[in-house]
Each structure stands twice: as structure tokens, then as C-alpha cells.
Amino acid sequence: MLTAVSAWQEALSAEIQARFGVALEPAQIPFTFPPKTELGDAATTVAFALAKPLRRPPAEIAGALAGTRLPGVSEIRTAGGYMNLFLDRGWAVERLLSRGFLPAGVEGKIIVEHTNINPNKAAHVGHLRNAVLGDTLVRCLRYLGRKVEVQNYIDDTGVQVADVVVGFQRILGWKLEDVRNLIALMADFSETSGSFLFLQELIDRWHEYWREENLHRFGLNGLIPGQACPTPFPPAYDFFHGAMGRFDSFCWGLYARVAPWYALSDENKQARLDTLHLMEAGDNDTAEMAALIAEEMVRCHLRTMDWLGIRYDVLPHESDILKTGFWASCFEKLKASGAVHQVPAGSEDKNRGCWVMALQESEEFKGMSDADKVIVRSNGTVTYIGKDMAYQLWKFGLLGRDFHYRPFPGAPYPIWRTDAGTAMESSPAGEGATAAACAPSKASAVLSKASAASSESVILASEARPESRAGKEGFRTSRNDGMGTGAAEAETAGSTGAAALAPPHFGAGAGVYNVIDVRQSYLQKIVKEGLRQMDHEKEAERSVHYAYEMVALSTKFVRSEMEKGAHFELSEEELAKPFVEMSGRKGLGFQADLLMDRMKDRALAEIESREPELAKTDRAQWEHRAEALATAALRFYMVKYNKNQVVAFDLEQALAFEGDTGPYLQYACVRAENILRKAAEQGLAVPDPADPAALAECAPHFDEEGWGLLSLFMRVPIQVKMAVDSLDLNIVARQLYDAAQAFHGYYHHFPVIQEPDPAKRAARLLTVALFARLLREGLGQLLGIPVPDRM
């Protein structure tokens, strides 16, 4: 089906050919929007483009073309060289509702990889930017009709996990069993955490636990010489180590203490290497502890992101890339294509003995002093970049191998993780490898249901709509409310045996987006170059690094925290800069869950000040609304900036609910729906936008301002396309914000229910109804922002 804009382009192209004898590709005809809606619904500047070849002034050309008949266009008015289109309003509304302004869809599955947090500490605001941008991209691609698979890569074998293991074993002196107990205790806490309502209770239980049985057993006090922190763990709702009662947060604090501990002696440093070796060897307590920590950490991260409506389809694990022989296959291909060569061991080259990829031939890397990139070290081990190339090949279905898969246990929704296949035989879980992997959990039940429903079309977890994904408690679900999957699925869990589960066919995408911050641009370029050198030019072209700038902490904010007693190793020079980079290793950052707690607390207070009764009568509703507000505030904050803008995180700015914020957009929607509700209560008929008769009746009575408001939504599909093409997703946020702002102005100036003229009133009710529907849809589908019924 021809979309509106392309139909206009073709008609104009034909007209230009006929009238001026100039051949202009339809796609070359530029369509934009007038700066003010009263100037028109859409505009083209094609007359300017024709001025030069025709040697005639733009205004004259525009005038000559103004009579062109375009589908759905009732009039073309010229203003200088501009040609402003006024649409037939009934036609336009119909198109708005049927997505008639969407560009034509494209076939082929797109793989989006995002989040990718090292599973050794809590997520911080920088990870949130990654996840929100990644998820928003996914939503935009789906809106445009693409099929999307979402991957969250888990590096469960690296030094970061090893460091936390060292922290537990060597600094705290804990055994595998102690970590297991801690996780069990924390999991219990996690069910209720996330609100100040429960905070004191948590802190009390926490202190009781440590005081009564564990504090002196583990000898936790004053453990690390040379550390400024007087106690190993903060006593209360401490700012930077905060979010008490959460395992990921506990590890955040612990991890920050490992680097100083390494600095104490060479012996300590050796612990990292020893740990890495044990992890690699497997079949020992250290390796098991690492796996335990990584898995629980991923669970924490999944929950954090799920609260924001961010989901994944599959969790590729680095350990499985290694165990499944991905690298061996990739290495063969690299060697066979001549993309890598070995530097002779006897040479003077600093890379002697390594397998390197030569980059000097490539335009992208010219001017580099050292144009060779080491892929395999002289000791025969593969670098990160090599593993990433293998992963990238798999994403495009070029590797000739696949993972095995199993449900990821204990996730807040059904999700698959990779598996090495044979590794399960030696799994310590013991009770028969296959049965353990496919145990009848809620997750596997839902997954088997999904695959039973259709062996061809697979329901991906990340495709679930906000409306259906959240239980009745709303977005922020915890473990005890049905895992957010709804009651129906949960009921079937018990009756489903260890049925043969068929995971969807992961990987083999037609295009790939890697959402990774800009600091990795160089490495991502090399991965792309690797594809090219392996003669996969087409895939290299379709391999997109979505690079965005980092989130740092504004020094203003850091200073204010230090004045409140927070402790950081920062020089005066660093504090003189506008912002400081976050560092998990230093414990310098702001944890995601803590930010969300703060937002929720702020929202709870705001709601209570407006509706004091609610807090007393319906706490669940109170919290539900607060969570929706927090999600909106956070997601909008993360997406409203240009991707090239360093976000200097400032708590006060992030916590704002007024002005250019998520709640402002929700408020517009809530007010609109409230007007409709009030109208219905008073017995007024609200015209149904989908009813052609009602539409025909109302269309002549739209006020110009109301129409201008609705016409903003015609821009959305085009803006989304533009946002995806440029990866500047703030365009989408901005567009919906503009619409919300226009509505606030509109209803202040135009009474709806009070309007005495029935025809005008009906048209205004229709305007409000359309606005509410389009904004709610846009916020949910594009930005992942839920709208509560009331605020």
C-alpha cells in the first residue's frame, strides 16, 4: 500500500515531469512540516530545489504547482517558495487511526543487542541510558513494522566477576554456602524492596541478621586497612552504597573494595589470576561461586529493567561462546579469508607470536601509527575482540554453529539463555541434566505454550505489550505477584511436565544494532572491518554500532553529596571539571534501583499531597501510580537528550516532574481522559473516532487549534523513521512532548464540556478522544511510558 507521503511524492513528480519536463525521483521530493500548524498540515520545499535548474524564482514554480491534485489534500497554499498542504480532515483522521502515514515495512529480522551489564554489580544510571535507548530503538523498529529480537549479552567469565569472587572469598572469607545463603536472604528482601514503606523493616531485619549470627562470624568490622570507610557496609540507607537488601547492591559495595585490596600486595594481585584460572578450569567451588553470583546478578538486572518495561528475548553468555566452540569456527574463517595473519615469533615486531588483523588497508583506520590489531595473543588465548567477532558472525547466521538454549531460571518473565549443551551433564544440580535444564517452571510452561501455539511464529518475550505484560499490580512487578506474566500462564505451570521445549530460532538476523557507548567505537569498527575482510560486505553494511555518549556525574552533584558525607577519591582537578566519569571499580556512580526508589518516593509524596485519602485507602493503587510516574520520569530523562550529548547526571534534574519531563506527558493524557470520563458521566455522547459517520459529522467543526493539535500526530511516523535512521531517538520524545504541550494549551483555551454549541462540543470531544488515544499509544508503544488512569 502506498503511504500518504509517497503518494504525494509520486503525484508531484509526475506533475513536475509534465509541466517542466524535469525528471525528479519521487523519493527526492522533500516533505517537511510548517513551523506553525496554522500554516498547513504538511509542506514541501520542492520549488526551491527546482529554482536553479529551471532558472525561475521559487515562488513562481510553487504557484505553478499549487494546482496539483494530491490524494487527501484539499488545498495547497503557497508562501514564497513553500507549498503548504491542507488536508481533508476526515481523510486525515482515518489515516491517523489506520497508520496510513507509516512508511512501507521492510522484511527480515533485526537483532538489537543492548544493556550488556557485567554481572558483578548493580546497574547504574549509565546502564540505564543504554537500556532505555536500546529498548526505545526496539520499540521504534517494531512500530515501523520490523521484526526484532532483543539480546542482552552476559560476560560471565571476565575479570569483573572474578574480582567480586575475590571479594567474597579473600576479603570477606566467605564460602560458597555463605554466598548462597546471602542470595536467599536477599531474594526474600527483594520481594518488597523498592519503597520507603518497607525500608525501615528491611534495615531492621538486615541488622538483626548480621548482629545476631553473622557479624562476628564473618568478622566484618574494619577489614580493609587503608580504606576510609569505617564500616565495611553502610549502616542504613546510605547514598552511594544504598538500596539495602539487594544482592547486586551488596556486590557494588564489595567490588569497590577489591581494587584497594589488590593494591595492598602482590600476593593479593595474584588472587585475581588464580581465581580466573579456577573459573576457567571449572568443577570447583570458585567456579561455582562465580556462576552463582553471575546468575543472581543477571536476575537482579532483569528485574531492574523489567520495572522500566524493558525486556529481552535471549541472554547469550560468554561462557557458552567459549564452550560451544564459536571461536574455533570464527578463527578458521578469519584464517581462511586471510583476514588475520600470524606475526613470526622470531620477529622484532611488538606483536610477535600474535595473530593480528591488518587495518592499514582500510580507509577507516588510515593515519594510525599502529594499524595492526591483536586478535589472538602470543600465548594462544583469544581477545575480547575475537570473541565479539564470533558473536557477530552468529548474529548474522554466518558462523555455521548455534548455541543450545534453556530457560533462564527465576526471571521475572519467560526468557531464554544460551547453553553449551554438554555442560549440563556435569551440572552440580545433579538430578539428571535434561530434567534440570527443562524443569517445569513458570517460565518453561509459558515458553512451551508459546512454541506449541505455533511452531512457525514465535512469541518473543520482549514483544509483550505493556498492557498485557504487567499483572494487575502494574509495571513494577515483584516475584510474588505472578512474575508479571498473568494468572493464566501460572496456572498451567504445575501441570506441564518436562516437555521438549523448542526455543525460537535465535540469531541469523538480517540486520544488527549493537547499542554500546561511544567509547567502544574503535572496537566496534574493527568488528565491522572483520566482517568485511571475511567477505561479508553486505553484513558489514547492516552491522550498526549505535554509539551514544556516556552518563557522567555532574561535579555539582558529587560535591553536594560529599558535603553530605559521601566519600570519594577525587582530586581537586577532577572536581574542577564539569563532570566526573562513573567507575564501578571505584564505586563511583548512582545505582539504578536507588534512583528509581528516589523517584518513586517523590511520586508517592506528590500523589499524597494531591489525594491524601488514597494513601490510606488503597496503598496498592498509590504505589502503582507512583511507579508509573517514576518509570515515565526516568525513561523520558534518558531519551530526551541527543545521543551525542554527555548526560551529566544530576539528581534534582532527574527527579523533576514538572516541565520537560515524563510526568508532564502523562498528565496531558490523564487530563484528556478525565475530560472524556466527565463528559460520559454527564450523559454527553463522545463521538467514536473510528465511526465514519461521526467523523464526517465532526470534521467541519474542528477548531483550527484543535486540528493543529491532531495534525502533530501525522508527523509521528515520519519522525520515528527519521529517528531510527539517524539514531537520534530524542526526536520521538520531542514530538510527543510537543503534542502534550499543544494539548495543555488547547484545553485551557477551549472549554469542551462547557461548550454550548452541540456541534462544536462534539468536535472538541472527538479531538480530545483522538488526542488521548494517540498519545497513550505513542507513549506506550514508542517510549515505553505507561499512563495511569489518574495521577
Partner RNA sequence: GCGCUCGUAGCUCAGUUGGAUAGAGCGUUGGCCUCCGGAGCCAAAGGUCGUGGGUUCGAAUCCCGCCGAGCGCACCA
Q: Please, which residue, 482 or 511, has the CB nearer to RNA?
A: 511
The x, y and z cell numbers of residue 646, run together, are: 554527555
Q: Is 625 in the site for RNA (CB under 7 A)?
A: yes
Among 52, 69, 564, 616, binds RNA (CB under 7 A): 52
Among 370, 618, 688, 757, binds RNA (CB under 7 A): 370
The minimum distance between CB 361 and RNA, in angstroms, equals 16
Q: Does the CA dihedral 531-533-538-541 come out positive or negative?
A: positive
Q: Is 648 in the site for RNA (CB under 7 A)?
A: yes
Q: Is 530 in the site for RNA (CB under 7 A)?
A: no
Nearest partner of 6 among 101, 89, 143, 145, judged by Cα: 101
Q: Is 619 in the site for RNA (CB under 7 A)?
A: no
Q: Is 497 in the site for RNA (CB under 7 A)?
A: no
The minimum distance between CB 282 and RNA, in angstroms, equals 18
Q: Is 642 in the site for RNA (CB under 7 A)?
A: yes
- What is the 3 state secondary structure string of 66-117? CCCCCCCEEEEEEECCEEEEEECHHHHHHHHHCCCCCCCCCCCEEEEECCCC
The minimum distance between CB 580 and RNA, in angstroms, equals 8
Q: Please, which residue, 244 or 553, has the CB nearer to RNA?
A: 553
Among 103, 181, 734, 777, binds RNA (CB under 7 A): 734
Taking the C-alpha atoms of residue 567 and residue 582, their distance in angstroms, rounded to an integer, is 14
| Contact set for RNA, span 302-331 (CB under 7 A) | 318
Residue 582 to residues 248, 307, 553, 588: CA-CA distances in angstroms? 17, 23, 7, 5
| Contact set for RNA, span 672-711 (CB under 7 A) | 674-675, 678
The x, y and z cell numbers of residue 476, run together, are: 513494577
Nearest partner of 647 among 600, 589, 599, judged by Cα: 589
Q: What is the rounded (10 degree) CA torsion for 157, 519, 549, 559? A: 80
The answer for residues whose C-beta is within 8 angstroms of residue 435's C-beta and 6 or more apart is 498
The minimum distance between CB 8 and RNA, in angstroms, equals 15
Residue 751, φ and ψ in degrees, nearest 5: -60, 140
Among 4, 15, 29, 40, binds RNA (CB under 7 A): 40
What pairing do the DSSP bridges indicate for beta strands 147-151 and 647-649? unpaired
Taking the C-alpha atoms of residue 633 and residue 694, their distance in angstroms, rounded to an integer, is 36
Does an H or E element contain 619, and which?
helix 619-639
Neighbour-count burial of 8, counting CB atoms closer than 10 A to its CB (0-12 exposed, 13-18 middle, 19+ buried): buried
Q: Is 663 in the site for RNA (CB under 7 A)?
A: yes
Q: Is 581 in the site for RNA (CB under 7 A)?
A: yes
Residue 341 to residues 67, 334, 337, 377: CA-CA distances in angstroms? 65, 9, 10, 12
Among 107, 379, 565, 704, binds RNA (CB under 7 A): 379
Question: In this structure, which long-range contacts are made by residues 483-489, counting pairs with CB atoms below 8 Å and at least 24 apart in sequence?
Answer: 483/411, 483/412, 483/413, 483/442, 483/443, 484/306, 484/412, 484/413, 485/413, 485/414, 485/442, 485/446, 489/442, 489/445, 489/446, 489/449
The x, y and z cell numbers of residue 519, run together, are: 567509547
Among 8, 24, 33, 774, binds RNA (CB under 7 A): 33
DSSP 527-577: HHHHHHHTT-HHHHHTEEEEEEPPEEEEHHHHHHHHHTT------HHHHHS
The minimum distance between CB 727 and RNA, in angstroms, equals 9
Among 288, 611, 697, 703, binds RNA (CB under 7 A): 611
Q: Please, which residue, 437 or 768, has the CB nearer to RNA?
A: 768
| Piece of 120-128, 402-410, 657-665, 688-696 that binds RNA (CB under 7 A) | 657-665
Q: Please, which residue, 464 or 629, has the CB nearer to RNA?
A: 629
| Contact set for RNA, span 750-789 (CB under 7 A) | 750-754
Taking the C-alpha atoms of residue 554 and residue 649, their distance in angstroms, rounded to an integer, is 5
Q: Is 383 in the site for RNA (CB under 7 A)?
A: yes
Q: Please, which residue, 536 or 764, has the CB nearer to RNA?
A: 764
Chain length of the chain: 791
Q: Please, which residue, 218 or 750, has the CB nearer to RNA?
A: 750
The minimum distance between CB 102 and RNA, in angstroms, equals 16
Among 622, 747, 769, 779, binds RNA (CB under 7 A): 747
| Contact set for RNA, span 204-263 (CB under 7 A) | none
Q: Please, which residue, 51 or 498, has the CB nearer to RNA?
A: 51
The minimum distance between CB 373 and RNA, in angstroms, equals 7
User: Longest C-alpha distance within the chain, in Å?
Assistant: 93
The minimum distance between CB 623 and RNA, in angstroms, equals 12
Nearest partner of 566 among 260, 254, 242, 786, judged by Cα: 242
DSSP 127-140: HHHHHHHHHHHHHH
Q: Is 741 in the site for RNA (CB under 7 A)?
A: yes
The minimum distance between CB 739 and RNA, in angstroms, equals 12
Q: Please, which residue, 85 or 138, has the CB nearer to RNA?
A: 85
| Piece of 292-300, 352-360, 397-405, 564-572 that binds RNA (CB under 7 A) | 352-360
| Contact set for RNA, span 150-169 (CB under 7 A) | 155, 158-160
Among 647, 709, 739, 772, binds RNA (CB under 7 A): 647
Q: Is 342 in the site for RNA (CB under 7 A)?
A: no
| Contact set for RNA, span 55-74 (CB under 7 A) | 58
If one counts every other C-beta atom within 10 angstroms of the C-beta of residue 66, the result is 14
Nearest partner of 226 among 569, 571, 573, 691, judged by Cα: 569
| Piece of 301-309, 438-446, 530-538, 599-607 that binds RNA (CB under 7 A) | 599-607
| Contact set for RNA, span 79-108 (CB under 7 A) | 79-82, 84
| Contact set for RNA, span 710-729 (CB under 7 A) | 715, 719, 722, 725-726, 728
Among 520, 560, 583, 781, binds RNA (CB under 7 A): 520
The minimum distance between CB 303 and RNA, in angstroms, equals 23
**Where does 682-757 have alpha helices with state H?**
692-698, 704-711, 715-726, 730-749
Residue 210 to residues 207, 219, 388, 406: CA-CA distances in angstroms? 5, 10, 42, 36
The answer for residues whose C-beta is within 8 angstroms of residue 346's C-beta and 6 or more apart is 352
| Piece of 6-14, 215-223, 330-338, 367-375 that binds RNA (CB under 7 A) | 367-375
The x, y and z cell numbers of residue 219, run together, are: 568478622
The minimum distance between CB 314 and RNA, in angstroms, equals 19
Q: Is 557 in the site for RNA (CB under 7 A)?
A: no
Q: Is 180 in the site for RNA (CB under 7 A)?
A: no
